[in-house]
Amino acid sequence: MCYTGGYWLEDTKADVIPGSMNLINHTDSSFIKILEKDGVYGGIQSILMLPTPEKEDKEFYVFNFANDTFHLYFDDFAYTKVSFDSSHFYVEEKCKIVTNGKSFSSAYLTACRHGNGRDWWVFAIEYGNKFGHLFLFTKDGIVQDNEILLGGIIIDSINDAVACFTNDGQKLAIYNFENGLWLYDFNRCTGE
């Protein structure tokens, strides 16, 4: 249905969706020239597309990290809202900031269905801290930010890493080269 390399969105014909250029809100003009050649930007698990709860057949969000300069971490957690019909995509909102003033690691972005079967929990790790964030994504957008202490994990800014929820939503797994694998109990009804 839709594809992104991190810098713009493409439809099923590989055409750039109008209004989707510069999904990351980058302002460095010399770097933008490089990005505009192939549209690839970001690290492992730095972009996430999810259907909007209760509007799955009409709308989806692209979650990423807005980054106005080039560095190893990303600034604010942001989203782009896209609606569609049988033949066209429409960018309704782009680079809308969810977490003003917080910086996030360039990896670890993942999601799990809420226990209600409609909504989503979106997970990201704050850069330079030992905190994760669980954002509740509903038909109204991001409506909640649960900050959680991750314990002994050291966030490695150089090496990308991964995070994922188990299929049943009862565990969150985080892996990086520095720390190995960490497993956390997770309640997909409460986000704790």
Checking if the pLDDT of 187 tops 90, the result is: yes
Structure confidence by residue, pLDDT tens digits, 94-142: 878 787 667 777 778 899 999 999 999 999 888 766 888 999 999 999 9
Q: How far, in Å, CA of 54 to CA of 91, rounded?
A: 19
The runs of H, that is alpha helices, within 2-120 are 29-38
Q: What is the sign, positive or negative, of the torsion defined by CA atoms of 66, 57, 3, 120?
A: positive
- The pLDDT of residue 165: 96
Angle (nearest 5°) at CA 191 between 176 and 170: 65
For residue 41, the SS3 value is: coil
For 159, phi then psi, to 5°, come to -95, 130
Chain Cα centroid distance, residue 15: 22
Q: How far, in Å, CA of 182 to CA of 97, rounded?
A: 29
Tell me if 126 sits within 8 A of 145, measured CB to CB. no
